[in-house]
Structure 1
Amino acid sequence: MALQNLKESLENEGKAEAKKIIAAAQKLADEEIEKAKVQAKKTVAAARARANEIAKANERISAAQLKAKRRVSEAMNAKADEALARIWAEFSKLPEGRSYEKFMKAAISQAEKEFSGKAAVYTNERDQKVARKFSKNVAADTLNIAGGAIVRTPDGKITIDNSLESIFESKKGELSNIVYSELMKK
């Protein structure tokens, strides 16, 4: 029996020792798990903070890019307006050229044909003399236009506007496209 008691005693000691070891291991594991959880929370918080920084940086970059695009667009619009103003300045010099009388003849004759010769021709003061060469219907009243002629029916209900301003305005969209196309090449 003594051997039996010794065996049971050793088994009980072994079980007790195993329980102590398991409890110590469990405690150590719980501590490591808790440390890992704390570290994971720190890592997640740092990652979120970094993600927020990146998002804010991307937002600033996007805002800066948008602002730069707006400035480029404004600069292009200013250059286009400047170019159109220069084109108008050159176009408005047409009355100084040799072919201006031909232009006036065509502008007046074509419009008077539309009205079967019954029309009033309006020009600026400078063009009155030229207009009288091509029409006996030149009105004494002058208009504040750069050049060309505006022809109206006697009752004033129908008008054909062959003024330089009107011609330029009718081509302005096309000219703008050309100007922008040239600006884009640069």
Structure 2
Amino acid sequence: MELSLKEIITVTLVLFAVVDPIGNIPIVLDLRERLGHIQSEKASIVAAIIMIVFVFVGETLLKFIGIDVNSFAVAGSFVLFFMALEMVLGIELFKHDAPKTAAVFPLAFPLIAGAGTLTTILSLRAEYETENIIVAIIINIAFVYTVLKSSAKMQRFLGPSGIDIIRKIFGVIILAISVKLFTSNISSLIQF
């Protein structure tokens, strides 16, 4: 077991940028508004389990079902793209009648432990020690949990117009991330 503070900090920052708990605040607030309740603990625990399991079996699992990492990332880019369109344009593309509360879907997956996060974990696995990645995941999940728990306070503080502004700003950011995820992975799938 080789814990390295430098590796933990690097992996934590990379995962933090991809998971983007601050950027997900508008989505969390939107879910809270529509569903009334968010199961922060369950969502955080399930996301942590998904991410940690993916550290060990992610690439093998994708290969087993015949999906390469690039295809997985492109599929994730489409989900992010349509979520971002909803946020920016104020339209409803996804049918929102499934869950009574938000926990496993859509919070734990695909919001926290989505295709971008899981693809990043696969990339990090090639460069960093497993135990450092796991510590970084736990640090990120602790921060995500804090954001989920305090989202109601943030909603009161920001008010409806503040939330709408943040939703649109982060919608554009998520849109840009989805385009980047798509363009950086599509070229390896298209053979000329």
TM-score relative to the length of structure 2: 0.22
Higher helix share: 2
Higher strand share: 1
Higher relative contact order (CA 8 A, sep 6+): 2
Higher CA-based Rg: 1
